[in-house]
Structure 1
């Protein structure tokens, strides 16, 4: 079994845990309290800024064959993914100028930036966000919430282009040939941060 297949195997129970989380379940039904999604938008905006910094830190260490891809993902995060947040922020009244990180966001961003100091560890650490959201998007797209704002969020992460980007990143992680035990440890910790990130004061 290759490293990516192994990471997916150990990550699926944590995807299932996210799908059962009240915040994600509310998105799936389309009836999530708007305050909860507003809080998530504000926190995820702060997270994505540091997520892009983590990719930039990895790009600085990258072999030539990975450099363009990592810079491209950082750019895509700052443009396409954050554009989704900006477009939704007005509809939910989110304040994307806030600098106040909640406990889950602070813990996750601190950890992921530290992990990115090592190339192979960092590649495994950032993978849960891409793969996990792609899995959530694909699963939630099976029923697609009727609420159009939540449906737009689901469609973004279920989009074939995002799936293709996630698969491309997985191949890059395999090419880096990380130590399997370390990769599993960093991947699992990242997945646990992903689960915790859905907590809001409104669920």
Structure 2
């Protein structure tokens, strides 16, 4: 079994935990309190700005075979995911420019930026976000919310293009040669940050 596949296997119970989180359940039903989603959008916007920085830090260290993939991941995050956030922010009245990081966002972004100081370890640390959201999207699209704004959010992470980017990230993990035990520890730590992030401040 490849390292990325092993990490995914370890992460599946934690995805199930996310699916049972009240915030995710509210998105799935399409009836999440708008104030909660507005706050989540503000926090995730700030998270994604740093996520682009994580990809950029890794790209600086990347072997030639991975450089284009990391540039593509940074581009997709900056242009596609952040565009969705700006669009939804307008519909939910979120104040993206005035937002300030809550404790969960600050802890998660600090963890990712620190982990990205080492190439293989940084890839393992960020994989919970890529793979986790792709997996959540695939699960939620099976019974999507009728509310169109929440449906748009689900559609973004269920998109085959997002799954393809996740697959490329998995391939980079397998080729990076990180210490498996260290990669496992960082991946699981990232998954715990993912769960904590749903606790909207």
Tell me the TM-score range normalised by the shorter chain: over 0.9
**Residues in 1 aligned to 2:145 and 2:185: alpha-carbon distance in whole angstroms:** 34
User: What corresponds to 2:191 in structure 1?
Assistant: 191
Q: What per-residue deviation string (whole Å, max 9, x for no partner) do you get for residues 35-64 of structure 1?
A: 000000000000000000000000000011
User: What corresponds to 1:100 in structure 2?
Assistant: 100
- CA shift at 1:166, angstroms? 0.5
TM-score scaled to structure 1, two decimals?
A: 0.97
5+ residue gaps, structure 2, are: none
**Residues in 1 aligned to 2:185 and 2:139: alpha-carbon distance in whole angstroms:** 25
**Residues in 1 aligned to 2:168 and 2:71: alpha-carbon distance in whole angstroms:** 14
- Asked if residue 89 in structure 1 is aligned to residue 89 in structure 2, the reply is yes
User: What corresponds to 1:130 in structure 2?
Assistant: 130
- CA shift at 1:128, angstroms? 0.6
Root-mean-square deviation (CA, aligned residues, Å) is 0.7
User: What corresponds to 1:156 in structure 2?
Assistant: 156
Spell out structure 1 runs of 4+ moving beyond 6 A.
none
- CA shift at 1:99, angstroms? 4.2
5+ residue gaps, structure 1, are: none
Alignment of 1:132-147 (within 5 A): 132-147=132-147
TM-score scaled to structure 2, two decimals?
A: 0.98
- Asked if residue 16 in structure 1 is aligned to residue 16 in structure 2, the reply is yes
Count of residues paired in the alignment: 201
- CA shift at 1:177, angstroms? 1.6
